[in-house]
Amino acid sequence: MSEPITLNVGGKLYTTSLSTLTSFPDSMLGAMFSGKIPTKKDRQGNCFIDRDGKIFRYILNFLRTSHLDLPEDFQEMGLLRREVDFYQIQPLIEALQEKEVELSKAEKNAMLNITLDQRTQTVHFTVREAPQIYSLSSSNMEVFSAHIFSTSCLFLKLLGSKLYYCFNGNLSSISSYLQDPNHLTLDWVASVDGLPEEEYTRQNLKRLWVLPDHKQINSFQVFVEEVLKIAMSDGFCIDSSHPHTSDFMNNKIIRLIRYK
């Protein structure tokens, strides 16, 4: 065993060995503690890593045992996935993928409930017609909200990996907005003709896209169609009692169910 090393990970201290930290040389930790990447120190001289301290225990235990051991009631798979992606320990990435497949198979019956809301909002903006010449304009904008509840946490994570917000010129997965494993709230707007791109950012207006199709969602019909594709590929079907199938696309409350 090499000499013990104390790490400060997000304010939480861990003590381990250099051989453990470098057991996967191609990982981020392997690069950091082999000298390929410079490390930072805290005031006590401990190596400092600005990542989630609580989740690091599972990373470190994998380095020690090569097994991913999680509590039965573990509810932070999304956070663990992001941390695993950061540390880039390939066997751990594979172990996590296997664990997620295992959990998915373990889920039996599931329910998906979506409540939709739409309103029209007037947006005011300036248009540059020439250098130092601006005019004030306004237009009606469709504003959408979707409140999604599912008894399947993994389905919401799947949905989060397919839908993206467009804001400030960037696409960001809605999975980062999952604060509750069973609930997701989406708020977005349809594109407005003539509205300058910078106005979306200035007025904090997000647009919604579905990937990998790169399709913008400008109506509830398109949103419902895309969510249906994702849900049905995961084994869900329309609850025939709510709403009636013929009225499905016109309802503001939609329920799907899954039996295994």
**What is the residue extent of each domain of the chain?**
2-87, 107-257
Q: 242-251: buried (b, 16+ CB within 10 Å) or exposed (e) per residue? A: ebeeeebeeb
Q: Which pLDDT score, from 0 to 100, does residue 241 have?
A: 65
Angle at CA of residue 60, ends 58 and 63, nearest 5°: 110
Give percent of the chain with pLDDT exceeding 90: 55
* Three-point CA angle 105, 106, 108, nearest 5°: 95
Q: pLDDT per residue over 189-244, tens digit each? A: 999 888 888 889 989 999 999 988 889 999 989 999 999 999 998 889 987 666 55
pLDDT band at 12 (very low <50, low <70, confident <90, very high): very high
Is it the case that residue 30 has pLDDT exceeding 60? yes
Give Cα separations from 210 to 15, 63, 143, 224 (angstroms): 43, 36, 17, 12
* pLDDT for residue 90: 93
Query: Kindly report the CA angle at 255 between 254 and 256, in degrees rounded to 5?
Result: 130
DSSP code at position 76 = -
Q: What is the pLDDT of residue 251?
A: 62
Q: Higher-confidence residue: 129 or 235?
A: 235
With respect to CATH, is domain 2-87 assigned 3.30.710.10? yes
pTM (predicted TM-score) = 0.57
Q: What percentage of the chain exceeds 70 in pLDDT?
A: 92
